[in-house]
Amino acid sequence: MISLPKDEYLQKAKGLSELASNKLALRFGRKYFDELTTTRIQKVEVLALLLEMEDEQLKEWRQAIGKIRARNTKDRSG
């Protein structure tokens, strides 16, 4: 079962333009977006879930880059 999006992301999703909504759906893959929309939740809720997932992925990426930079700094100082 899919969890409901947090209110913060629901508000962000409601404020998205049609173009921004389409770009978000395309970043995750149209097939994935279409699968979510067939689960009987509203399109705005799907967009909110995608925004939430995107933020989580960005946070993980930033942590990984931080570790790489720290390792590079340590290697340079040596």
Q: Where are the domains of the chain?
A: 7-77
The pLDDT of residue 42 is 87
Give the model confidence (pLDDT) of 57-77 as tens digits: 999 999 999 999 999 988 887
The pLDDT of residue 13 is 96
Question: In angstroms, rounded to a whole number, what is the distance separating the alpha carbons of residues 28 and 76?
Answer: 37
Give the model confidence (pLDDT) of 1-39 as tens digits: 678 889 999 999 999 999 999 999 888 887 777 777 777
Distances (CA, A) of 26 to 20, 38, 40: 10, 17, 20
